[in-house]
Structure 1
Amino acid sequence: MNPSATLLLAGACVAGAVALQTLRLGRRAGPGVVLLAGFLALWMLGLVLLEQRTGELADRVLPLGMLLAAAFTQAATDVVGRAPRGLLPLAWLGSLAIALLGLLAPRLLYGPGALGAGPLFALLAGVCTVGTAAMLAWLFHLARGAQGRERRRRLALLGANVTGALGGGGLIGLHVLGVRLIGGGVLFLALSLSLVAYAAWAPEEPREREGLIQVAVQGASVSALMALGAGALSLALGTGPLWAYALLGAALALPVDAARQLLGEAVTRRLFARPQTVPLLVEAVEQQTSRAEHAETLAEVGRLASAVAHEIRNPLGVILAEAKLLELSGADAESVQALREQVARASRFVDDLLQYSRPRPLRLAEEDLARVVGEATRRARRAFGEGAPEVTLALDALRWDVDGEALGDVVVNLVTNALIAVEHRPEARVRVSQRREEGGVRIEVEDNGPGVPEAILPRLFEPFVTGRGRDAARPGTGLGLALCAKWARRQGGTLTHARPATGGARFVLFLPKP
């Protein structure tokens, strides 16, 4: 095996290692980088066969390198998140057609040993040149419209396409025309692979990206070492058919360890309900660390909330006592009432803050859901007095393991919000329904009010987010929906919002089977 073939073999094995490790550990990278690295490995192996003068075999394998064009398009789409309509399927169909044509009838493309142009060579070379130019123009346009890291990723893709075209179609085109530079292709293709890996791995979390780089370097270094060793062995022996040394080198240099890990983890995931593979264990450790950090943050917030509650409640008690004295001394009744309402509002905020930061433990018991939901709805209406809007109930008889007190608080909060939304509407409509469905029970609170403001929809269930400002007739604390969503998660369920076709708001509480 000559030095050029040895370098190409090392490059092929490095590309294979990158493909396998990205497939194994990449979480945010799309399939583009895996396909591109895999096809780069295939293309370089074809160049090895060409360098070793294996005749018909190399002639049929080389056109498979056309799949690189489709893989580049796939990688670009993964990075930018979109592509012109029809570009991706067109790229794959065109690349597959040319690859199959070369596999079945290579003489239509070039002569023996990929020397001399075949009858279709000029036509396909023109089509590929136009396609490559269009891809480069698209990537250049995308890079101009981006900033920061995103721009660097797109410029990396642009560079990868340039170097890939030079080391791929450009190299084989020159070879067909009699200019033999096959050995130099490994430099262009290695640079192309590095740029694509950067563009694909950049969105990963720092620790994940570092892990990907480390395992890729480990697998690549072992594969390159084995390939160089196989090349040196073939040069030292110097006898026997050249294709045999090429196959021996490929067999020795394949990234066997990465393939073994990938296969073992795939089998483990398939056979065991709770697989313990390295990627899953890493993910579990990260989640556990995140939960621990979150728990510590909540504990600190709880301590702060307790201190705030203590410091606020004492002055509130004094203010209420002074309000009573003002009332007895003949102060304006309306002013005293306004003072009491503001004190009550501050007290509610303190209570909500404490409940959010230091929730009490769940007390699960079998409850009659229709009774719990119905009583909570009536409790919410009573707070509005005799003029409270009507609420339609549609409740199925159902018993469920649930914290009845917490569920009641959630329903009170949701129904209260709905009643506030329709309070001054001439045709107010609030509907509360509860029914069993596959996998759990669904409780809905729907109204025909103005609906949730678009501006707060993305943060609707976050603390201190409210559509009712402090100047509203019934101001909100911004903690009610956050409390409801948090309780739903603790119960193992979800709380979601939807905008009905008729307008208004619909909140859906889903509780899974215990």
Structure 2
Amino acid sequence: MRWTSLRLRLVVVFGAVALTAAVSASGIAYWLNRESVLSRTQTAALKEFKQEMRDKAAQLPLRPTQPELEYAAQRMAKSSGTGFSVVLIGERAEDKPVAGVSDQDEFTLDDVPQSLRTAVNERQKVTSGNTSPYHVFWQRTQRGQTPYLVGGTRIVGGGPTGYVFLSLEQEREDLNALAWSLAIATGLALIGSALLAQAAASTVLKPVQRLGDAARQLGEGKLDTRLRVSGTDELADLSRTFNNTAASLQKKIDDMSAREESSRRFVADMSHELRTPLTALTAVTEVLEDEADTLDPMIAPAVTLVVSETRRLNDLVENLMEVTRFDAGTARLVLDDVDVADQVTACIDARAWLDAVELDAERGMMARLDPRRLDVILANLIGNALKHGGSPVRVSVRSVGGELVIEVRDNGPGIPQDVLPHVFDRFYKASASRPRSEGSGLGLSIAMENAHIHGGDITAANAPDGGAVFVLRLPHDVSREPEHGDIREEGGGTQ
């Protein structure tokens, strides 16, 4: 599960809310129960202690002896239902205090907190006739590891001062058991909230996941992808919107595909229809070109123009037919093992460019590719360099990282930056004011398509020292590239 996933965030939020609520509820419950348990025990013990002081300690003489105090303290402790211990403090004639305790091994006056003794003694000084003589002061304290309740009162008007000690160990154990129970309940609530969040996330996110899968399928070209719609909530509305959008997109793409297919078929049909008259025109122009020296000087320029334009039209038709084959997906590779240096030299020699091209290529560099299509690529790149950059054009061939790299560099001013992104676009010309400039605007586009069908690519850039640089990259063995499944060996025919 990714840390940024919506499912995890929902679970975390549910868990945080549940944990906060459980901890808050447990804390409040623990505090209320703690106060209730301690107050109940404290109230019962102090009430009983007060009653014992009234019934037994008040019967002692004004100045009791130590045995009398001890006897009274022991009687008070034995008759206690809460099990407290008692310390009684009396005074003799010489105003020296005398103590009596219910258990000699348990508590003494020294165990009484000084602040409680001070409060009890101050009470004696400020008590008036209409004030209860048995007001009990109390304090919770710690003796060793055991919590205790210590209470104290003094019989006003004469009599001993009494202190009570009650262990709160049982209450602490009960409260610890309650705390553990609340902690377990909090943990169970957290687990339950996580399971509930998981279930809620699955319920909410499953339609979202289906929507995501459908969107990916739609992006992959499966335009008939639709979602099953159920319910009337927002997710159902979203699914209906997706289905409507997908249907609209499918219709538009079908319409565009139909128009594109119609246009492609028109271009292909037109190109094929033009080939027959062009063949006749080409034959006639060849005859006229052979007889150009014998023609009237007034007619010769016209004949030359007809010959050049016929050839240009013939090249345009051939390029259009090649483009339609790429668009229709019928272009095929006819592979052969070729010496790349010999292939580049043959291309240059066939077009009489030897004097205008500087070739840097090591012979014996073999590659398995379609020689005819490589010739088309080289002819377009070198021809374009000669046309726009002038001679000399430098062509270098090398092998880099398992790839065949052919670089064509011209000697011109380079390619304008606004033109550079469009040099491989069909029918694109750098100057819109020169619509009849030489070339059809398809050469570089066809070169790129031929590179792509080999599994390669062509890039265009400007050299730092001036001039344009076109770099062709092709695999050494096209037949080993997995994306090229429809390949013919030499002798299988060409398109």
More strand by share: 2
Q: Output the TM-score relative to the length of structure 1.
A: 0.45
Q: Output the TM-score relative to the length of structure 2.
A: 0.47
Higher relative contact order by CA 8 Å / sep ≥ 6: 1 or 2?
1
Greater C-alpha Rg = 2
More helix by share: 1
